[in-house]
Amino acid sequence: MRLATFRTGKVFILYDADSLCDADGAPQIGPSTFDPEHWRRQARVTGEAPGRGASLFLDAGDEEWVLRPYRRGGLVARISESRYLWTGAQSTRSFRELRLTARLFSLGLPVPRPVAAAATRHGPTYEAGLITVRLPGARALAERLGDADDTLLERVGATVRRFHDAGLDHVDLNARNLLVDAAERPWLIDLDRCRLRSPGAWQEANLERLARSLAKFDAASAMSAIRRGYASSREG
C-alpha cells in the first residue's frame, strides 16, 4: 500500500494511491468524498452504524466503504463535538489512524483496508473523517454474543493476541470494535488513539477493558473462552 497526500484549500487528504489514482495519477477523491450529504444526494448511502458520530455505509461501486467522522465524547463534547486542536496535518487523529491501519494491514492482520483520511482546518482547530472498506457480512461481536460458541470466542482471543504480538495497544478494545464476518473470522476496527508499543501492562489492561465491555452486555462469562484463545493463540 502506497500512501500519498494532497491539499485543496483548507482540506488535507491522505489516501491509498495504489487504489485511488486515475491513469494520469490524479487522485479519485476530494473534499466531497467526506461529505455525507454528497453521498445522500447521489442515493449512495446504504446504511448507518450505531454509535457516536454515526458512521455511514457507502456504495463506492465495486465495494462498500465506511465513512466515519471523528466525534468527541465526555465533558469536552460540550465545548465542541467535532473540533480538535490543529498542530499540523500529519499529527491529526485521522492521519495517524490511517497510517496505523495501513501498517497493520500490510502485516496481514485482520483490519479493514484503509482508503483515505481527511482533516479540514478551521484556524486553530480541525475536523476529521476516515474511510475504510466495509467488511461484507460482518457484525459486531456485541451482536453475536447470544449465539457465540467457545470456538468463536477462542478465535477472538487468538486474534487479540495476534495484535498484541504485533505491539498494538488498542485503547478502546470492546465488543463493538471486534467484528465477526460471515466466515466466523474476527476483525478489529476503530484504531483512533491506538499505537504500537513494546510488551507491557497495557496488554492486560486491554483485556480487562474488553471484559468490562462484555459485562455490559451480560456476557461476562464469554471472557473465559476469549482468554483461553488468547493464551493458546489458536486462530481456528
Strand pairing class (11-16; 3-8): antiparallel
Torsion of the alpha carbons at 203, 208, 209 and 214, rounded to the nearest 10:
130
Select from 182, 154, 171, 236 the least CA-distant residue to 210. 171
- Amino acid (one-letter) located at 192: D
Catalytic residue, chosen from 172, 190, 192, 218, is 172
Residue written as grid cell 485521522: 94
Can you read off the three cell numbers belonging to residue 168? 498494538
DSSP summary character for residue 152: H
Active-site residue, 181 included: no
Instruction: Just list the catalytic residues.
Output: 172
